[in-house]
Amino acid sequence: MKIDKNTINKIARLSRIKLDDKESEDYINDLNSILNWVEQLNEVNTENVEPLSIISSSILPKREDVSKDTNSSEEILENAPDKLEGFFAVPKVVE
Amino acid sequence: MPKSSLKQTLQDLDTKKISIRELNQDYLKRIKENENLNVFIYFSEDNVLKQIDNLENDNSAKKLKGIPIAIKDLFCTKSMPTTAASKILENFNPTYESFVTQKLLDEGSIFVGKTNLDEFAMGSATNTSFFGNTINPLSKENEPLAPGGSSGGSAAAVAADLCLGATGTDTGGSIRQPASFCGVVGIKPTYGLCSRWGIAAFASSLDQAGIFSHNVEDASILLQSIAGFDQRDSTSAKVDIPNYFENLDDNLNGKTVGIPKEYSIDGTPMEISQIWEDAIKVLEKKGVKIKNISLPHTKYALPTYYIIAPAEASSNLARYDGVKYGFRSDEIDSLDEMYENTRAQGFGREVKRRILIGTYVLSAGYYDAYYLKAQKVRKLIADDFNKAFKECDFIVTPTAPSAAFPLNEKQNDPIKMYLNDVFTVPASLAGLPGISIPFGKDKNNLPLGIQILGKHFDEQQVFNAAVSLERSYE
């Protein structure tokens, strides 16, 4: 088993998702079966194969590196669950 | 009785046989009659009526003026909320318009509503939506069927004639598979043809916008409208967009079709092998040369996809943290707790499963074994297609390994659900254009789809082959 209780807790913590015990157990099973299934890729010889990350066959033009002032802070904050004087507001971080 | 086509409707509007108001009121009526299908996450009659008012006061000529279009609720729209079918975006009102929907608005189309989907486009049955299942309009009474997914709402909207076209997105098959299940046309163009700007991101190296329609001609008209270069998407391609519709040519004489032997898989229903053979026979009669090809890494496409897509999703969905927009949990004693509770309560089960898988395969010590390995196999899969396209002009395969299945079937077994995409995922990994057209029925009279794949940016060839098959089938 690749994913045990400790691993799932670690991944959940990295993902910032709180899991209860029942969920942890379900995900341990799900993830193990998915990982076992994807491991068939090990049959494939990938020696000297370049990893493919950009699929586009066209030339992707770069934009000029110039700043643009859109003055849109109000728009950006419009959907914030909590805001204060032009900032996003979150629970207190420092005591 | 064939449903009215977009092309015909444009003529009828032009010759004043019907007004924009009459046309859309007809659609509004059908939408209200079909509420039980749960096609729309957002629908407001007032909103549509307002759009009609505005268009009636607009004297400029526009290509899609007054045409009712449904929008997958993954595209940000200023005039309608956008949820990605997730609780975490339940109250999100975008302050900007996606590239694709802006193009449709510029052409004068009317948005009838935002369609249901699998949460963040993760699913193959439109059953992971926070807003409930969509029902396939072809279901018999008391036997509700899945519309496919993730763009199941858009496919169902076209199938039930609630619009003349709909937008979708396709990451591993999310346009082609529901098109097949609902008996409509669905095209996923080449990666990079339509800007991803304003589409809630799932797996950015795979996500691509596309179109659902009643027929191939309509799809060719609509795709031209939403394609084009956009500086705000760094993978948007700067290519000339042809007039697909004007250039449509069903004469395939002298062309070569590739038939990949790896797409004959065990357990595929006989009827699906049969329609595949039928399609090949039709092409042969039209003077198309049949070429047996091999795409040897096909069987590794699904596991490759289920590493790459969750990895990219885990990174893309990190933005939903309860700070900038959307849902925030009430249990927020500390910042960390706010994040963890917000995401625990805001995401559904399948989305969490993929975030966890993605986080694992990207985590220190596992990156090379999973993510890097998958990217290398992805290269081999893309190379298979490159080689094959040296010998043929387009490829024909079935779209999906089954017809529409009952709602809730396969729900508990993720891998079984993932197998739905077995024929669509390889082309997604290679970034190729693909269309699904209805081509035959199974023994329960449910539609089956044929998929046509083309070379990068050769949508024209894909449309030509599709329209040729479609016309021979009608």
The predicted pLDDT at position B419 comes to: 87
Task: Report yes or no: B138 and B120 within 8 Å, Cβ to Cβ.
Answer: no
Give B220 to chain A, closest Cα distance, Å: 21
Give A14 to chain B, closest Cα distance, Å: 7
Contacts of B304 in chain A (CB under 8 A): 38, 41
| Nearest residue of A to residue B429, measured between CA atoms | A55
| Facing A41 at nearest CB: one of B300, B343, B382 | B300
Q: Which long-range contacts (C-beta less than 8 Å, at least 24 apart) are formed by B76-79?
A: B76/B101, B76/B198, B76/B199, B76/B200, B77/B101, B77/B111, B77/B114, B79/B47, B79/B51, B79/B111
Chain B touched by A94 (CB under 8 Å): no
Count Cβ atoms within 10 A of the Cβ of residue B315 and give its class: 0-12 exposed, 13-18 middle, 19 or more buried: middle
Contacts of B425 in chain A (CB under 8 A): none
Domain layout of chain A by residue ranges: 5-43
**B72 is annotated as an active-site residue:** yes
| Nearest residue of B to residue A54, measured between CA atoms | B205
| Facing A91 at nearest CB: one of B93, B335, B372 | B335
Contact B192 A46 (CB under 8 A): no
The predicted pLDDT at position B410 comes to: 64
Contacts of B309 in chain A (CB under 8 A): none
**B174 is annotated as an active-site residue:** yes
Chain B touched by A37 (CB under 8 Å): yes
Chain B touched by A78 (CB under 8 Å): yes
In degrees and rounded to multiples of 5, residue B93 shows phi and psi of -115, 100
Distances in Å between the Cα of A43 and the Cα atoms of B49, B288, B371, B378 are 58, 36, 15, 14
| Facing B344 at nearest CB: one of A17, A42, A55 | A17
Q: Could you report the per-residue pLDDT of A13-51, keeping only the tens digit for each?
A: 999 999 999 999 999 999 999 999 999 999 999 999 999
As given in the structure block, the two tokens for residue B317 are: 């969905």
Set out the domains of chain B in order of their start, with CATH numbers.
1-474 (3.90.1300.10)
Distance CA B448, CA B436 (A): 9
The predicted pLDDT at position B1 comes to: 36
The predicted pLDDT at position B141 comes to: 84
Q: Catalytic one among B86, B129, B174, B213?
A: B174
| Nearest residue of A to residue B339, measured between CA atoms | A16
Contacts of A12 in chain B (CB under 8 A): 356
Question: Buried (b) or exposed (e) across A31-69, using 16+ Cβ within 10 A?
Answer: bbebbeebeebeebebeebeebeebbbbeeeeeeeeeee
Q: Catalytic one among B109, B129, B139, B150?
A: B150
The structural architecture, per CATH, of the domain A5-43 is Orthogonal Bundle (1.10)
Task: Report yes or no: B307 and A38 within 8 Å, Cβ to Cβ.
Answer: yes
| Facing A51 at nearest CB: one of B192, B341, B375 | B375
Task: Report yes or no: B77 and B94 within 8 Å, Cβ to Cβ.
Answer: yes
Contacts of A10 in chain B (CB under 8 A): 363
Distance CA B286, CA B254 (A): 9
Distance CA A26, CA B413 (A): 12
CB pairs under 8 A between A and B: 173
The residues that bridge with B164 in the sheet, in sequence order, are: none
Picking from A7, A17, A43 by the largest number of B CB atoms within 10 A of its own CB, the best residue to mutate is A17
Task: Report yes or no: B377 and A41 within 8 Å, Cβ to Cβ.
Answer: yes
Task: Report yes or no: B223 and B459 within 8 Å, Cβ to Cβ.
Answer: yes
Taking every pair of C-alpha atoms in chain B, what is the biggest distance, in angstroms?
71
pTM of the full structure: 0.97
Q: Could you report the per-residue pLDDT of A78-90, keeping only the tens digit for each?
A: 999 999 999 999 9
The predicted pLDDT at position A61 comes to: 77
The predicted pLDDT at position B415 comes to: 81
Residue with tokens 């299908």: B37
Query: Would you write out chain B's pLDDT as a tens digit for each of its 474 residues?
Result: 356 899 999 999 999 999 999 999 999 999 999 999 999 999 999 999 999 999 999 999 999 999 999 999 999 999 999 999 999 999 899 999 999 999 999 999 999 999 999 999 999 999 999 999 999 999 988 899 999 999 999 999 999 999 999 999 999 999 999 999 999 999 999 999 999 999 999 999 999 999 999 999 999 999 999 999 999 999 999 999 999 999 999 999 999 999 999 999 888 899 999 999 999 999 999 999 999 999 999 999 999 999 999 999 999 999 999 999 999 999 889 999 999 999 999 999 999 999 999 999 999 999 999 999 999 999 999 999 999 999 999 999 999 999 999 987 766 777 888 888 999 999 999 999 999 999 999 999 999 999 999 999 999 999 999 999 999 975
The predicted pLDDT at position B268 comes to: 87
Count CB neighbours of B335 within 10 A.
Answer: 15
Q: What's the CA dihedral at B293, B179, B71, B323 to 10 degrees? A: -70
| Facing A63 at nearest CB: one of B231, B326, B340 | B231
The predicted pLDDT at position B411 comes to: 63
